[in-house]
Amino acid sequence: MEASKPKSSGLSSTGRSSGSQYLPPTPPDTDKEYADSSSEPGDTEAIIPRPGHSRSGTRKLPLYPLPPNAKSDNTVLAEDLKTPDNHVVRDPRLIRLTGIHPFNVEAPLRNLYDEGFLTTKDLHYVRNHGAVPKVDDSEIMDWEVTVEGLVDNPIRISLAQLLQDYEQLTYPITLVCAGNRRKEQNVVRKTKGFSWGAAGLSTALWTGIAIADLIRAAIPRRGARYVCFEGADKLPNGYYGTSIKLSWAMDAERGVMLAHKMNGETLPPDHGKPLRVVIPGQIGGRSVKWLKRIIITKEPSDNWYHIYDNRVLPTMIDPEMSADLPETWKDERYAIYDLNTNSATCYPAHNEELSLYGSEYIYKTRGYAYAGGGKRITRVEVTLDKGKTWTLANVSYPEDQYRLADEGETLFGGRVDISWRESSFCWCFWDLDIAISRLQAADDIMVRAMDEAMMVQPREMYWSVLGMMNNPWFRIVIHKEGHKLRFEHPTQPALIPGGWMERVKKAGGNLMNGYWGEQLTGEAEAVKPVETAKEICMTNSKVDRIFTLEELKGHDGDTEPWFVVNGEVYDGTGFLEGHPGGPTSIIGAAGQDASEEFLAIHSENAKAMLVDYHIGTLDKTSQSLLSADSEIEDAPPRDVFLDHKVWRKAILLAKTSVSPDTKIFTFNLDHADQAVGLPVGQHLMMRLRDPVTREAILRAYTPLSPSGARGKLDVLVKIYRDTPMQKGGRMTQALDSIPLGHFVDFRGPVGKFEYLGRGLCTVSGHERRVRRFIMVCGGSGITPVFAVLRAVLADREDPTSCLVLDGNRTEEDILCKADLDAILVDNGHRYRVKYVLSQPGPSWNGGRGRIDKDLVYREVGPCQSTDGKDIVLVCGPKPLEESVLSIFTEMGWKKDDMVFF
């Protein structure tokens, strides 16, 4: 039903102090609306008298900052024109952290600090997991959000109704990405996250409603404990979503809100237009953008992005281990909610130079600090001797100026008064005047902050697999260079080189030795050289031709297919016949950037073979455009689902267990009448992505669905789980871990074999007439075999005979046995099946042992491959395939008569 209720603040001042203990700094005597370039962020730089008071009066009035002017000349940038974000206006000063797309950026630290307490939309950091949903201005007021789940009164409400029926609030809130300062961890050891610098935070005035008012109208049921949020951004693993505790959402002191304005304007597309959650004091990843659903639940969210993002796993878990620990990821003890205490130095800036012979004798060091969960920063300390002695810095709290607004005062349509609130949800600024002579005598400047719970920044880094919540002392190195000092920050964001941490590491220093990489006595002898993995050369050093995107796209057809790997151009024409996956694998990559797929599924030998097909390099501009163009694009539903050039999404509908380690995964296609589009005997590629790094996980599968299936797709998957002896399957465990309702990417068909019917097939594009199929399989290798067998036996006029040799460990490992036995009833003259178990139970009456030479001789009979009318189809574990190849070759079969799926 639609929500309609009287306006109510949802806030109570009962028992709250007046806020008098949070007095702001004394405003400057001059009366100005916006600061000049010399103003400090701690000053009241964008100030306005409270309504009802004269500017010319002599009485000192409490004032609060207003947003600085945003730029008016921003446009859609050239880098975004070929991406799904080609409708979003952006500032070119922002530093891109994940290439062109998706858009993840921070401002240069100096620029962010210079804007002051409030950040414009131009320089506010952005964390996007995928494409920005496009919402036209005409659609804003009709945007709807639902409140559902464990509620007695489910709600569907438009933004227009939220504005009409609920009181609007305007609060200053600092949002911080949990990855802020992650580059420091990546320099020590690569995490699974991209490299944020120290500007992954921003502050804005957010206008919206208290989320508690809306949830209260929905009437949560007994047992409800969590609030789950889901956005409209369609991603590789579903819609982005997460959750917080219901008690937090209902607590006015925590200030959780649904915001529709940022700094007095409609939300920009990158920041959630037209509606988002804003959760003060918690990591930015909880503040879901483009909000569509609010779900009240008993348990935390099961959304992929809630589970596999925004966590601090134990430090001993490395990136390789983390891929195989689904239960660890689901452990809520490792989930991040409240921010931790952190600080950074903004001035001196990186590579800033200070003359020793100027007229100034004092240098003002400056920076920011913040805490989490509403806690207040109570001290900032600076050391020039590596922590032996500390000096208290001055701290200013511009947020406190809003506490002195008059009762009922509004700003941008929302009540701005926060006098009743004890919590602090914004960054503060620190400064300390230091004599230049002291800087000249020091090796570094370090800063640490403490909050009101006496939580202080640690000296050492806590490295973790996602690189989040990095907050050790912020250290700036001082270099003495002639008559000047030069300052060096720890890192620079993204792939920008520079910083003392990179320099120390390149010199062989141990960044985790407790002394910031400085060599200790005897350390050199104790450090062992680190073996680096041998890099496979995939390019021909004699090739120096440069290609344009237009030239590459001229070879995107079935003949002379060119493709790109790591910016290099390859001509796949010469390998169309020999490619194990058939020519369609190469043709499907023609004219595209195939780096992700090639590197994810090919061996070192295959990578080395690329040298022979290397013909040149794609120019830099074309590389950027091609990379952006390779993203999945939304497209209208088609008659056929699969496309051999474009990844298509399907929604996971169900998981059905068929054995202790095997499940059928059922996917919904775009519409009920959509054909799968997979020829008999061919495969499709499935792709999942690591939710943080976006690294692709790809595998080929043959579905159980018949070739004429429509609307749904069934894929049989044997799940290889970790054991104490070895790691399990990366794809199968990842697939098993995703919840229902999430997306998986599909592309195809691929494969060199296709059965056309009535004894006619093609192998690597050449037609063959078949008298008999000998089908050898094991485990989930039954799926391509079963697809061909089913097609043969479905046609009573098909004269082809089939022999299936199915080898497994135990009886429960035999997949599709009921189907294999059922079709035997009416087809005994054309079809035989022989099951063999290596670990049979006492009641097993079938074959025992393995598929060996004796079994093959006995069941297959003399070699009849000389006339090319018999074909062996093989699919199973690598040892099985190697054994079959050896046995049949020894029997006189030609390799051309054997097809390994």
136 is a catalytic site residue: no
Q: Which helix (H) or strand (E) holds 133?
A: none
310 is a catalytic site residue: yes
Helices within 617-760 (DSSP H only): 620-629, 730-737
CA distance 659 to 646: 33
The radius of gyration computed from the CA coordinates of the chain, to the nearest angstrom, equals 32
Residues 6 or more apart whose Cβ sits within 8 Å of residue 833? 803, 804, 806, 820, 821, 824
CB 492 within 8 A of CB 197: yes
CA distance 126 to 114: 18
Catalytic residue among 80, 85, 309, 897: 309
Tokens of 389: 């002695």
Long-range CB contact pairs, 875-880, < 8 A, 24+: 875/776, 875/777, 875/778, 875/781, 875/782, 875/783, 875/784, 875/785, 875/900, 875/901, 876/776, 876/777, 876/778, 876/779, 876/781, 876/807, 877/778, 877/779, 877/781, 880/776, 880/778, 880/781, 880/807, 880/851
CA distance 604 to 537: 10
CB 177 within 8 A of CB 104: no
Pairing of strands 772-778, 801-808: parallel
CA distance 556 to 178: 42
Tokens of 70: 């945003």
Catalytic residue among 85, 177, 228, 714: 177
Pairing of strands 276-278, 342-347: unpaired
Q: Which residue has the tokens 């100026």?
A: 401
Of the candidates 94, 410, 77, 85, the residue with the CA atom closest to the CA atom of residue 261: 410
Task: State the helix-helix crossing angle for 853-860 and 878-890, rounded to 10 degrees.
Answer: 60
Q: Which helix (H) or strand (E) holds 890?
A: helix 878-890
Of the candidates 257, 326, 304, the residue with the CA atom closest to the CA atom of residue 688: 304
CA distance 189 to 464: 9
Q: Which residue has the tokens 């690189």?
A: 467
Other beta carbons within 10 angstroms of residue 331's beta carbon come to 13
Integer angstrom CA distances of residue 651 from 1, 4, 86: 27, 34, 26
128 is a catalytic site residue: no
Instruction: Confirm whether residue 177 is marked as ligand binding.
Output: yes
CA distance 803 to 864: 14
Q: Residue ranges for the binding site for Mo-molybdopterin?
A: 177
Q: Residue ranges for the binding site?
A: 177
* Catalytic positions: 177, 309-310
